[in-house]
């Protein structure tokens, strides 16, 4: 009598969906009276790159602080709305919860540990909460040094002696040591020469192509819109415009306010005349 057929092995469970960031009707207040954000909503899809534009004081940095849990360090608080990253609720949580969820913030001004070496700064980036094994830390370090070979050359040098561009690379590299799934970048090109700003932009594009989602705050609107798939414009704590980055770049408001162009695309002359044809 033939043996009964062996049962089929169970199918492997599908991988969990990649997380997206959803900000819904977010309100943020500093102290008791200063309203910084009012009913702001945005989405950063999995593997997406989203730009956040706006004048100084529009609320861009405040939004990143709310996402990364650092608001309380600036006497701010989420007073309404919801922040969700995948299945994790982040509104009102601390930075440990954000990093554990995979959300890592690179603040404006680099904020490297000037007295520590480049190598020590990178190791500090791997000390946060999470599931890091020694092998995972080595893999993260290899990735960072592959992206930023100049950091390998400067490994024993104090971070405070690096150039501005090198410090920005170190700030990015330190953040990547935490293996983020969503990177919050606040003005990565600030204070850099145009060529270095373009180099940093290319590195951000590579980081995104390697699978890390990016929410980018950037005063250089042309650079930000060239990098991003989608963009939002904040004005005095509220969302004024939102849409695909290429479409926003063609709107009259963005051309005039953020790209320095007349609505017909001609660069504006500071004296009031038209730029050269």
Q: For residue 81, give the CATH number of its domain.
A: 3.40.50.300
pLDDT of residue 268: 45
Whether 248 and 127 map to the same domain: the answer is no
Count the domains in the chain: 2
Radius of gyration of the chain (CA): 21
Output DSSP code: residue 16. Answer: P
CA distance between the termini of the chain: 90
Is residue 167 domain-shared with residue 30, that is, in the same domain? no
Which has the minimum average pLDDT: 29-38, 131-140, 155-164, 226-235?
Answer: 131-140
What residues contact 161, with CB distance under 8 A and at least 6 apart?
none
User: In this structure, what token pair is assigned to residue 145?
Assistant: 């040094």
In a domain, 169, yes or no: yes
In a domain, 273, yes or no: no
d(CA 56, CA 61): 9
pLDDT category at 277 given cuts 50, 70, 90 is very low
My answer on whether 126 and 225 are in the same domain is no
Q: Is residue 129 part of a domain?
A: yes
- Based on the fold, state whether residues 136 and 82 are members of the same structural domain: no
User: What does the alpha-carbon distance between residue 174 and residue 168 come to, in Å, rounded to a whole number?
Assistant: 10
Give the confidence band of 276 by pLDDT, cuts at 50, 70, 90: very low
* 57 domain residue, yes or no: yes
Say yes or no: 52 and 92 in one domain: yes
Q: Which residues contact 189 (CB under 8 A, 6 or more apart)?
A: 168, 196, 197, 200, 201, 218, 219, 220, 223
Residue 40 and residue 164 in one domain: no
User: Is the predicted pLDDT of residue 70 greater than 70, yes or no?
Assistant: yes
Q: What is the rounded CA–CA span in Å between residue 244 and residue 107?
A: 25
Parallel, antiparallel, or unpaired for β 76-85 and 88-89? antiparallel
Chain-wide mean pLDDT for the chain?
87
pLDDT of residue 138: 86
Do the domain assignments include residue 11? no
Domain hosting residue 151, numbered range: 116-173
Query: Is the domain of 190 the same as that of 90?
Result: yes
What is the Cβ-side half-sphere exposure of residue 73, based on CA atoms within 13 angstroms?
10
The Cα–Cα gap between 105 and 266 comes to 36
Whether 92 and 34 share a structural domain: yes
Pair 247, 227 in one domain: yes
pLDDT band at 266 (very low <50, low <70, confident <90, very high): low
241 and 122 both lie in a single domain: no
Position 53 in a domain: yes
């Amino acid at each position: 009598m033939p043996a009964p057929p062996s049962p089929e092995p169970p199918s492997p469970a599908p991988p969990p969906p990649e997380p997206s960031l959803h900000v819904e009707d977010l309100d943020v207040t500093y102290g008791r009276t200063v309203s910084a954000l009012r009913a702001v909503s945005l989405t950063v899809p999995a593997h997406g790159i989203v730009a956040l534009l706006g004048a100084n004081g529009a609320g861009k940095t405040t939004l990143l602080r709310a996402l990364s849990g650092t608001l309380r360090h600036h006497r701010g608080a989420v007073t309404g709305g919801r922040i969700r990253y995948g299945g994790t609720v982040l509104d009102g949580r601390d930075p440990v919860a954000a990093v554990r969820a995979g959300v890592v913030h690179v603040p404006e001004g680099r904020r490297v540990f000037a007295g520590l070496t480049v190598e020590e700064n990178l190791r500090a980036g791997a000390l946060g909460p999470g599931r890091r094994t020694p092998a995972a830390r080595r893999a993260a370090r290899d990735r960072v040094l592959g992206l930023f070979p100049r950091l390998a050359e400067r490994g024993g040098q104090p971070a405070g002696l690096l150039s501005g561009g090198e410090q920005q690379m170190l700030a990015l590299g330190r953040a990547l040591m935490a293996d983020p799934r969503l990177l919050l970048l606040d003005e990565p090109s600030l204070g850099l020469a145009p060529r270095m700003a373009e180099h940093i932009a290319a590195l951000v594009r590579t980081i995104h192509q390697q699978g890390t989602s990016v929410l980018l705050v950037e005063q250089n609107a042309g650079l930000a819109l060239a990098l991003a798939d989608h963009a939002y414009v904040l004005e005095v704590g509220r969302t004024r415009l939102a849409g695909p980055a290429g479409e926003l770049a063609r709107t009259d408001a963005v051309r005039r306010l953020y790209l320095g162009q007349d609505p017909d695309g001609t660069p504006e002359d500071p004296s009031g005349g038209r730029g050269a044809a």
